[in-house]
Each structure stands twice: as structure tokens, then as C-alpha cells.
Amino acid sequence: MSDFYCKVINPRDPAAGEVNAIFPHELTLHYYKYLPVRYENLRAAKFVLENVAIIFSGVREYNGGGWCYCGRPPQWYVRPGKIEDFPQDMVFTVYMNPNYRIYECRAEASADDDPRRPVDWQNRYGGVVWTNIS
């Protein structure tokens, strides 16, 4: 098998167009074998990457760089075979390194000041690089 690629807004230069985000084969296979709900939620991650609400920079404290794409998928998997509407008080986050390789995706509680952002976003990220204004 090989990596899966998904076109995303270029976080280095949003006006420049798109780049390929990479779902590494190793990550996908690990989720498939050992974490079936996380594997199914790769669909939610892809939805967020293609319908992003906000992109943060500076997500890696010890290994500089990387981004967090945030959004709200319409649905997600909560346990094997069980799909539900995505909760209003949560945001789905997709984390990638400076080489656009995804290393984490998960639901997080939304911030009180902006439901498109995760809790404590001011202290967790280096800054906002792009916001969907539509």
C-alpha cells in the first residue's frame, strides 16, 4: 500500500493554491489494525482538510513547525458501526508536520470565545495563518 494524498490550502502561502497533505500509510494501517474508530474517523479528517474553518501554525513545541487544520465534519464515528452527528461543543483537529504529513487527528472541546477553535488555542499554537470567512 501507499500513502494517501489530499489537496489542502497551502498553509505557508494560502493565496498560492493547494498542496498535498499526506495520510502516511503507516498511520492509516496502524489505525486500521488497532484503532477501528480512529480509522473510520479519517473520513472526518479528510472532510476537515477539504472544508477547513481555520489553520493554525506553530503546533510543535519541540520540533518547530507544523499546522493544525480545524473544522466541523457533519458526522463522526463514536464506536464501531455507530455514526452520530458531530457535537456542537467540539471541533475536529488535524495535525501535520512541516512536510505536510498528518500525525494526529481527533475531536477536541471548542473554545468558549470561538467554537471553530479548540480550547486554549491562544497558548497552544503560534498563530492563525488562515481563516474561512464565508
pLDDT at res. 63: 67
Beta bridge partners of 83: 77
Calculate the CA 103 to chain-centre distance.
Answer: 9
pLDDT at 119: 97
pTM greater than the 0.85 cutoff: yes
CA gyration radius for the chain? Answer: 14
Q: Which residues contact 62 (CB under 8 A, 6 or more apart)?
A: none
pLDDT tens for the chain, 134 residues long, are: 699 999 999 999 999 999 999 999 999 999 999 999 999 999 999 999 999 999 999 986 666 789 999 999 999 999 999 999 999 999 999 999 999 999 999 999 999 999 999 999 999 999 999 999 87
